Structure 1
Amino acid sequence: MRLYTDPRGEAYEQAIDLAIRTSECFVLKEHVGGWAGIMRSGGYNDVVEALRPYLVKTIELQDAGMDEIIQMQRAYRSDAFYTAGTYHMYKCCEESGLVLKRAANRLADWIYPHLPEDLCFLKEGDGDYLFSIVHEKMYGMDVTETEALELMDRVTGLFLELERHQDLEYLLDDAIKHRTDKLYISGHRLTELPERIKELTELRELEVFEQDLYRLPEGLFELSKLERLAIMTADLEGIPASIAKLKSLKELRIYCGSSDRPAPGWKVKPKEEISLNRIPPEIGELQMLKELTIQYSAIHKLPPELEKLKRLRVLNVGSCKIKRKPAFLKRMKQLKHVSVSEGLY
């Protein structure tokens, strides 16, 4: 069962304690050879040394191909072995668990060069109990729906994907309770997001894929910690001036002409009929913004306030009504990628 996001702080410590009691060993991938040793942080080396007394096995998977990797995955019934490299297996005990808790604050911390990678716990008789693939932001636990409900009731911050989350109210209830920093909303046939979205005070990443979503609520713009916002819908009324309140926002992506449940006969609106036809000048207040992507809209010009965005690196406004790039873009020397085009639709 997948986790929406990795547990952190006290929830991370409780998850480690639970995994230590439930599992036989845990696996960490080590970067060795070449520049790997030079690039490691001091904390990386300290953890490797602290865990040495609990080392039970080392597995080397060569770069020759996937056959050896697949064989290892099948042998241990585990996704811990997903690429070539050196894997260390450590005994689960109170002392080794203490090392894991002292070394990190969350599962996402287990990433090179700061620490060995992708902490994964294997049950006795093999099979993953708690796993992480940090580069892919994938985390999960081998628990039933009933066990997940009990764990979520007991451990605040352990936010698992449940069947009941097909009901948006349950999803938001649990997301708020567990103070999630990441949320994906899709398949709820929404025309607008509920105002209670503002109660997700720790949210840093929000992705919404709802083809009927038309209006963004004011509550959305009260998420002061939000760093990444992605909206995919068939049509969007507009970007409110309140966007200026998202002072922490680093990435804003909007895709109109999108469908999460295309039915026979469903067609994308001509872009001339898309309601989103302007970028508000308040966009210039987002001083942390690094990427602005808007695809398939009736936007016909870029606001000069974009020039105020000194951290902006990616500007991608495609399939729109803009006929030529404004001159001020040439003065934005920090831009690494610029794409402004009418497109083919």
Structure 2
Amino acid sequence: MNKTEYWDLSTNPTDETYHSLIKVLCDHSDTFYFITRKELSYDQDVLAEFDPHIIETYQTKEWANTITMGPPATVYLMKANEQTSKLLQHHANGLYDWIAPKLPEDLTFIKNSFTWFTSTTHEEFGGFSIRSDYYRKLIHTVPGLKVQRIELE
């Protein structure tokens, strides 16, 4: 396989499907990020729980699937590991729960500098960019995950 395939989520992964998805994403990623926006509020106690795992934070107007005309967002880039997997599972019961005012937004997972899973939670969108048979098979190991391949012209 030498070109990228795109697979979109057909439904919001919730409950056990969400927990399994997060485990697979964290187990097979080096890093992930979420964002906060200056004009929205978030639960600062939740953000503080992720502090020990932050690699860096930075401001940007452009991140996976999004370009904002408003103020820049803050990106929290962190290690994907067992501890962060448990935090992501603990604080939400579905992918699209990652939204203000409680939680940061737009979970995005990266392996070897390649962004292989993105979400835009306000729009209830999530999807995979797959470059290998291994990762294609991997997304089909998540029980109950509904995805559909997107054919680009």
Smaller-chain TM-score bracket: 0.7 to 0.9
Query: SS of the residue aligned with 1:2?
Result: strand
Of all paired residues, the percent bearing the same amino acid is: 27
State yes or no: 1:133 paired with 2:132. Answer: no
Q: Quick check: which one's strand share is greater? A: 2
Q: Name the structure 1 match of 2:52.
A: 53
Asked if the contact 1:121/1:128 (under 8 Å) is kept, the reply is yes
Report 1 or 2 for greater relative contact order, CA contacts < 8 Å, sequence distance ≥ 6.
2
Separation in structure 2 between the aligned mates of residue 93 and residue 145 of structure 1, nearest angstrom: 22
Residue in 2 that maps onto 1:102? 90
CA deviation string 1:204-262 (max 9, x = no partner): xxxxxxxxxxxxxxxxxxxxxxxxxxxxxxxxxxxxxxxxxxxxxxxxxxxxxxxxxxx
Q: Distance in 1 between matches of 2:79 and 2:65?
A: 16
Q: Which residue of 1 aligns with 2:67?
A: 82
Q: Contact 1:2–1:161 at 8 Å: present in 2 too?
A: yes
Runs of 5+ in structure 2 lacking a partner? Answer: 1-6
Is 1:19 equivalent to 2:6 in the alignment? no
* Counterpart residue type for residue 81 of structure 2: C
Contact 1:122 1:129 in 2 (8 A): yes
Structure 1 residues 4, 145: CA separation in 2 closer, same or farther (over 3 Å shift)? Answer: farther
User: How far apart, CA to CA, are the structure 2 residues paired with 1:27 and 1:151?
Assistant: 19
In the alignment, does 2:81 pair up with 1:93? yes
| Whole-Å separation in 2 of the counterparts to 1:104 and 1:137 | 14
Measured in 2, the distance between the counterparts of 1:150 and 1:14 equals: 11
Match of 2:13 in 1: 7
- Work out which of the two has the higher radius of gyration on C-alpha atoms and give 1 or 2: 1
Note the alpha carbon deviations across 1:179-212, whole angstroms, 9 max, x for none. Answer: xxxxxxxxxxxxxxxxxxxxxxxxxxxxxxxxxx
* C-alpha contact (below 8 Å) 2:34/2:77 kept by paired residues: yes
> Hey, what's the Cα distance between the residues in 1 that align with 2:142 and 2:84?
21
2:132 and 2:111 map into 1 onto residues whose CA distance is 19
One-letter amino acid matched to 1:46? D
Residues 220-235 of structure 1: pairs in structure 2 closer than 5 A: none
- Describe the shift of the 1:5–1:82 C-alpha distance in structure 2 as closer, same or farther (beyond 3 A): farther
Could you tell me which residue of structure 2 aligns to residue 236 of structure 1?
none
1:56-80 per-residue CA deviation (whole Å, 9 max, x = no partner) reads: 0111126xxxxxx3xxx6xxxxx16
> What pairs with 1:183-202 in structure 2 (closer than 5 Å)?
none
1:161 to 136, 148, 151: 148
Deviations 1:245-297 (A, max 9, x none): xxxxxxxxxxxxxxxxxxxxxxxxxxxxxxxxxxxxxxxxxxxxxxxxxxxxx
- How many residue pairs match? The answer is 140
- After TM superposition, where is structure 1 displaced by more than 6 Å over at least 4 residues in a row? none
Amino acid at match of 2:53: Y
SS at match of 1:53: helix
Residues 80, 120 of structure 1: 8 Å contact kept = no
Q: Distance in 2 between matches of 1:58 and 1:81?
A: 17
- Relative to 1, partners in 2 of residues 1:107 and 1:149: Cα closer, same or farther, differing over 3 Å? same
Superposition CA RMSD, Å: 2.3
8 Å contact from structure 1 (residues 27, 80) kept in 2:
no
- Whole-angstrom CA distance in 2 between matches of 1:128 and 1:98: 21
In 2, are the aligned partners of 1:148 and 1:160 still within 8 Å (CA)? Answer: no
Q: Which runs of 5+ in 1 are unaligned?
A: 63-68, 74-78, 164-345
Give, in whole Å, the separation in 1 of the partners of 2:32 and 2:84: 10
The residue matched to 1:113 in structure 2 has which SS? coil
